[in-house]
Structures are given as C-alpha cells and as structure tokens.
Chains A and B, each alone.
Chain A
C-alpha cells in the first residue's frame, strides 16, 4: 500500500549535528538533518548559491552553513539568511514513534530542473 508519508527509517540513524542523504531516482537528492536540539528537517541537497551539498555543512541551531562558500541556509524554510538571497525547496517531514517520515508527493515531485 502506498501511504501519504514515506518511512525512511529510525531517527537514530542520523547522529545529532549531522545530515544524511537520500538520492531520488529521477529527482533531486534530499538531505535529512538532525540538529543538536533534536529536530529533523529535510531539504533538497543543493545550495541555492552554487549547488553545494548542504548535507556536508556544519549544523548549528536551525541553520546549516554550506561547505562550499559558507552561505547560511535555514533548515526550516530553505532560505538563505543574512545578505544572501536564494531558497532551496524543503520537504515536509514528521517524526512518529522514533521513525522519520517524508511527505511522499514532495519527495517524488521534486524533479530535476
């Protein structure tokens, strides 16, 4: 049965302060973040600046610093913070009973541009 939410596994597979990736066939790779405050977020794994892999950046608060040129991207909205302008799509995510779920239509709907 195909549910509305996609179960991508238990929360403990991402250590706090880290992110892991989820490639999507025919779509954009997704980065799933676990913050030091134990929140989870999912973004398309591409910095709005020059497509840097956000999953590899340093996570602080609800922000990830892109590894390529240090733009700060909000994990919540996907928007670049400070003076930088740009936005990366976010994927609705929920945590339930220790497992992480992504909104299916947002995952498969993100076709490569």
Chain B
C-alpha cells in the first residue's frame, strides 16, 4: 500500500511529495515513471491506473507469446516487486473514466477518486475496427493485449478438434502478419486479407512486399491482396467467415482485425485538452494544461503520432528531464521496422519513395532470396529496405540517423558494413583483382575466376561473349558486375559492348529475359526483377510494359495482366489524341458493316458531339473527340449494336483489310472477303510485341494492299500465296513470300503459326518487318517448316492463348471493371468538393 511519504504532513497539510497520477499501466507510462525515479526517486508519490488486470509487460512480445515462443512470465517488464520497492500504488483492472481539471482529480470506473498534482496520460491506442456488418460478433478480436492473445489461443485450441480450424486476419501490416504467423504455428489455416496490393505497404516497396508474400504463401498461408472486406458472416451468433466486396468468401472460426490503431484520446478530449489526431504535446510532453503531461502512442508531437516503441523511449527521457527540473526537449524520432516472424528477415527505415535527386542502389541475390535497396540523397543515406539479409540493418539505420556524408563509401555501401569499410576493397575492381583464380565467380554455373579470365583471353571480349563461352553470368546475372570488372581488368579499355539490353534496369537482352521467364517459370513482374537482378526497385516505363507482354505471352490464362504497366492507350482501350481526348474504333469484321452498326455509330457521334468521324485506312470508322469519362457509355452503345473493341490502340491485331473478291469482282479467284472475316475472327484480341495488320486480296491485282501488311494473303487460281513482314509507314517494306498453300484451312493454320512465332520470339515493340530483317526470312521459315509438326503445334499454342484473349475489353469496362480509370476523384467548385 501507500508508502508514508505519500501521506500529507499532519500539521501543515502540505504533501511531502508531489502526487503523480499515471493513467495507463503500459509501456510508455511505466517507462516514464522509471525514468523519473532514476533521476529523482523522492520527488513524486506515484499512483498508476491500468485498465488491464495485470502488471506492466512488453506488448511487442505478445507476438512471440501467440506463436508459442515465449510465455507471459517471460515478457513482464515490471513485476509486483517493482511497484512495492518504489512505493508505487498500482490500481489495475480499474480504468480511469474522467478527469476533473479544476479539482485536479481522476475518477476510476470503480468510483475511486484520486487527487493529483501532476497527471500523466499514457493510454496508448485503440485498435481500429472497420464497421462492416458482423464486426461485433463473438469471435471477432483485435490484437492489442494479453486478453486478445488468450482469445486467439482458445480458438486455436477449439480448432484442434476439427483439423485445425480457420482464421482470417484482416490487415496485412506488421501486426496482422505477426498474428497470422502465430495462428498458423498454432495449427490454424490462415487467410490474410489486405486492402492494398502490397503487404506492409507503409514499410515495404513492391519488390520486398512481393518476396514476403511469396514466402508466406510457401508456408501455407493464403494471402489475398487488394481484398476489401464487405461483411463478417455469422452462424449461431458466432463468426463463420468473411465476405469480400468482390464476392469471395473465406470460412473463419476467428477473425482478427488488424487494420490500424487510433490514439486513445477520449479521456483527454472529454477533459477539454487540445486533441487533434493525438493529444497535442510540446517538446517536454506537456499538454495544453501545464499540470498534465502525456506520453506514448496517445500523443501527437510536432504533427506526428507514432506506433512503435523506439520513439516512446526518447519521449520518456525528455518527459523525465522536464519533470525533474532539467528540461532537454524531444525533437521527434526516425523509426525503423522489423517483422517478428521467425525465419523472415525484413527491415525498413527512413524514406524510400525515390525522391528527385535521390539515387537508388539495388542489390538482389536470387539464390539466397535477398533484396536490398538503399536510397542516397545529397551524399547521405536517407532510406533502406532489406529483405532476406538484414545483418546490416542497424548499421544503415545508424548512418541514416546520424546523417553523415557517405560519399567515400558509396561504392561499397550496398554490400554492407564489412565491405564498405574495408578500405581498399571499396573499389570493386580492386576487390575482384584480389580474388584468387579458383574463386567462384558464377555460382549458378560454377565458373571460377580463372576460367572467366581464360575465356576473355581466348577472344570473348564482351559480356555476351563471356556468357556464351563459359556461361558465367548467363543464368541469374548476379555476377554480371564481377564479370564486367574482369573484362575491364583483363582487356583494359578494349571491352566490346554487347547487344542492347532490354533497358537500363538490367544487363540482360530481350532474348535472355524471355528465355529465363520460360526456363525459370517466372510468372510475375516483381519475380522477374528479383530473379534477374534488376538494378532498379520497380523498373521503368520501358521494361514494365515489355515484361507485362512477355509474361502474358508465356503464361496465357495464368498471368494476371498489370494495367498500370501498360501504355495509356492499352489501359484506356482507346487512342489518346493530342488534346487528351480519345478516339474510338469499333471492329468491322473484314471491313464489312451493316445498317445496324452504322446507325449505332451515327447515334454515338451525335449523342456525344464527336467533332469528327473518319474512314480509316484499315477499312473501318474512327470516332474522334470522346472524353475519358464518356468512354464506357460510348462502348455500351456500340456493344448493344453487336460491335466489340477494334484494338486500334493496342500492340495487338489491328485490322484485316479485304477486297470484295470472287463474290463480286470479275477478276476474283477466291472468297477474299470471307477469308478475311475468318482470319479476323481467329486473331482478334491477341496481344503482340507490336501492332499487327492483315490483308487478303482476291487476286494479284492486290487491291487490299496485302503486300505491305504483317501478314498478307494474295489469292490465286490454285490457292493462296502467304506473305509476311510488310509495312507501310515511314519505311515502306514489301512482304517476303513465305509459302503457297492450297486450302483456306492451311492459310488459317500458317497465319496462326506465324503470329505465334512472332509473339514468342520478337522483342517487345519490334514489328514483323524489322524482326524478319534481324533474324532473317530463313530463320522464320525454319521455325515454321523444318519440323512438319511445327505449324500445328504453334497454331495450337496460339489458339489456346486466344481462349483467354478474346474477351471484349469494352464489354468488361461497360460492366464496371476498372471504373475508377474513367471517373474523376471528385470535382472542386470554389467552396466545396463534389464527389
């Protein structure tokens, strides 16, 4: 009970010590008291109120308790003896419900009234509960204190009877993932539902978030990113599952909400203290009432609220300095994050948003699953994201906090402290020169330094030469820097630059990237970047669209197209014009149309005031001047008349131009119009390296200009001449004759096979004409005809892929897909916002 010094002096009525009352028996409140006691033990008589019915413990260690790695006793910070030794009155399990600032008293739920001279508010935060239907069902818990852990453990225990039980964690941030990990270790089937596309998006970039997601999935968790919770489902008064807005449902015996925290400010607000997001405090942690101080997650200091412990320690020091008459002042904290999931090393600190003038240094080691990114600005380290190897996290964090000039160690910075501070080793060439001849340079292919140098002396004078001579750096590319150093060392200035790389983010060529995507079964953009050691965190405007296409081509039906990696026209399914409006070209199969289509087009032109309609060179109509907001409505009207997207905007099949052929023309030899329509029905919707045009002429007079198309058919009496690689445009190129076939079916098969060969082999943004000039017509012929089964296999692959591509993108937009791309956020009128 209370120590004598807490009593008032009987004669004078003066307190012997000032009465310090603390609301909140948590991490910050108790640390603040410790700091004060350390400076001036006799100054205050302390009473601590705690809502939780227990002593102070280390809240961050609740995760290991849930995971079964620690027991509650292991995580107690201040046991009962600490309170008694320091004559502190602990009122636990009795929350404070009111503060009376005039009388200087606090009232607890039990009715107990306690007077104070100084009041310390350290109420922490409350977990945020998303107010969806069912949020108050039994079985919906948060993750904040020991009682929550006990509820989760009980659910896991109950689940054991029926094979583990199901848990859904809403929120893929630090807390949610630690909860998910613990529940999984306790035997539950865990699903994490996260609103954003990247896990822990506040701490991680896309690349690291992707690695984390893959690792958690490998461990058996189901990770749903971009999942927006619609409702929590009920069975018999208890939670039964979670439904997302897109209709997906996941069964659950327990639902953990870990979507964020809000500073617990209700008491302070009711007492009339200045409260914004948190309780506003100055640099000495004093609130708007000089008798009341506050500390921890409940405060807002210089506009910032914190959700980690490190800043609390700094705050507590400043608070104790001021409360004991030696004010120092708190200036805010730089924070870093680590995820406490065993076996996953992850660290993030500072600013990794890639400012102007900020420079990214990226190192990836696919074989070890490592991604490291440090951000340097004005000669200083400003941010770091580490995944897979966090050994240097604290060193980077230290450099970051100190803000020292790191120019001198910049070259070796990304390799970590040992390397960067190794003096001479900081020069990469010197480091390579120092390697012994049998040191392994390329781990993937087991190539030693001696062997690489041998190849170089033997005539391999470029990176590509070395790659083909001894395979060094030909697989994952992580040793490219080493091989380049060896080239420089061995040849002096005589290094030949190899073929052009895909873009500045990689040392690989288009062909290398495509080969690796297939060989290594790479199925997502961040995965390609990690496995092939991209030197930038997220690629650039050149490689993102290229990779998106390569993946789409390699994994039809499996790869999820990335809208934001496409050029505007392909994202908006229309052609942007110089005034920012769009033009719309519906498909007219083989250049044929009918009154219904023409009427629909005429109506659209009038309804949306389109300033111009033009007959295109591709035998169809182009409606100009449509605003992005109106596109879905325009498409809906065109869809109603049976028309689909003409893909006039895409790296894809554009048009099939035809002449009237044997149906009408006195020279016609075959039904060129009919074949054109069939070809267009077969090929529409397919994504290609570049745009692709087809034409069919009914006789060699060639009215459809088939010999300047990517694939041209010229009908003759005995069958069909198939031509490839033609181009109009700036550099006109007439087609090469590929072959002659006798039937329509053969013409269709060769067309499908040729397109597939082009899709699989050409570089992104390479039309058929330059492709054929680069690889040679003979190469194309060999690919199609040297093996008698080749046409059939290629055509089958094309048709398989078409199953997934022939899905009118306009109809999907009309049905509401990606609606936000067409809508303004809101409109600003001078005094208001109209959503």
Chain A residues within CB distance 8 Å of chain B: 2, 6-9, 12-18, 20-27, 30, 32, 35-39, 50-53, 56-62, 65, 67-68, 70, 72, 74, 76-77, 79, 81, 96-98, 107-108
Contact = CB atoms under 8 A, between A and B. Distances in A.
Contacts of B579: 51
A15 B825 contact: no
Given A7-B833, A13-B820, A25-B828, A96 B277 contact: yes
Contacts of B85: none
Given A8-B833, A25-B830, A35 B353 contact: yes
6 contacts: A17-B565, A37-B353, A39-B353, A56-B568, A58-B541, A98-B260
B354 interface: yes
A60 B538 contact: yes
A48 to B, nearest CB: 14
B354 A61 contact: yes
B731 to A, nearest CB: 20
Contact of A60 (B355, B541, B572): B541
Contact of A14 (B352, B355, B825, B827): B825
A23 B833 CA distance: 10
Given A9-B825, A9-B826, A14-B820, A65 B833 contact: no
A108 B830 contact: yes
B197 A15 contact: yes
B567 A67 contact: yes
Nearest to B543: A60
A71 to B, nearest CB: 11
Contacts of A52: 578, 580
A14 B826 CA distance: 12
Interface of B: 195-198, 201-202, 205-206, 228, 260, 262, 277, 352-356, 360, 536-541, 544-545, 562-569, 571-572, 576, 578-580, 628, 820-821, 823-831, 833, 835
Given A58-B545, A59-B564, A108-B828, A12 B201 contact: no
A106 B360 CA distance: 31
A62 B827 contact: no
Given A16-B206, A74-B356, A77-B356, A21 B198 contact: no
Contact of B828 (A6, A14, A81, A96): A6
Counting from the closest, the 10 A-B pairs by CB-CB distance are A17-B564, A67-B568, A65-B541, A53-B580, A56-B568, A61-B354, A39-B353, A24-B828, A25-B829, A58-B541
A73 B605 CA distance: 35
B210 to A, nearest CB: 11
Contacts of B539: 60
Given A16-B197, A56-B572, A96-B277, A21 B824 contact: yes
B interface, over-half SS: loop
A53 B201 CA distance: 27
A60 B544 contact: yes
B565 A58 contact: yes
Contacts of B353: 35, 37-39, 62
A56 B576 contact: yes
Contact of A62 (B355, B563, B572, B821): B355
A61 B826 contact: no
B195 A12 contact: yes
Contacts of B564: 15-18, 58-59
Contacts of B567: 58, 67
Given A25-B829, A26-B830, 4 more contacts: A16-B197, A17-B564, A18-B563, A68-B578
Contacts of B541: 57-58, 60, 65, 70, 72
A101 to B, nearest CB: 11
Contact of A12 (B196, B580, B821): B196
A18 B828 contact: no
**Most B CB atoms within 10 A — which of A7, A32, A52, A79?**
A52
B529 to A, nearest CB: 12
Given A12-B196, A60-B544, A76 B828 contact: no
Contacts of B827: 22-25
Contacts of B201: 16, 38
B540 A60 contact: yes
Contacts of A7: 833
Contacts of B197: 15-16
A91 B524 CA distance: 34
A9 B828 CA distance: 12
B378 to A, nearest CB: 14
A97 B277 contact: yes
Contacts of B563: 18
Contacts of A9: 825-826, 835
Contacts of B578: 50, 52, 68
A58 B825 CA distance: 18
A107 B829 CA distance: 10
A58 to B, nearest CB: 4
A16 B827 CA distance: 21
A57 to B, nearest CB: 7
A81 to B, nearest CB: 8
A62 B277 contact: no
Nearest to A32: B825
A31 to B, nearest CB: 10
Contacts of B202: 38
Nearest to B571: A56
Given A18-B564, A18-B821, A67-B567, A62 B580 contact: no
Contacts of A62: 353-356
**Most B CB atoms within 10 A — which of A2, A38, A67?**
A38
A37 to B, nearest CB: 5
A59 B57 CA distance: 45
A26 B569 CA distance: 28
A38 B352 CA distance: 10
B548 to A, nearest CB: 11
B352 A37 contact: yes
B818 to A, nearest CB: 9
A2 B831 CA distance: 8
A20 B568 contact: no
A3 B198 CA distance: 32
Contacts of A12: 195-196, 228
B307 to A, nearest CB: 12
Contact of A37 (B354, B566, B820): B354
Contacts of A24: 827-828
Nearest to B818: A15
A62 B353 CA distance: 7
A67 B572 CA distance: 12
B565 A13 contact: no
Contacts of B828: 6, 22-25, 27, 30, 107-108
Contacts of B356: 62, 74, 76-77, 79, 81
Contacts of B628: 56
B769 to A, nearest CB: 22
B216 to A, nearest CB: 19
B568 A57 contact: yes
A58 B544 contact: yes
A51 B578 CA distance: 8
A51 B825 contact: no
A50 B833 CA distance: 29
Contacts of B823: 20
Contacts of A57: 541, 568
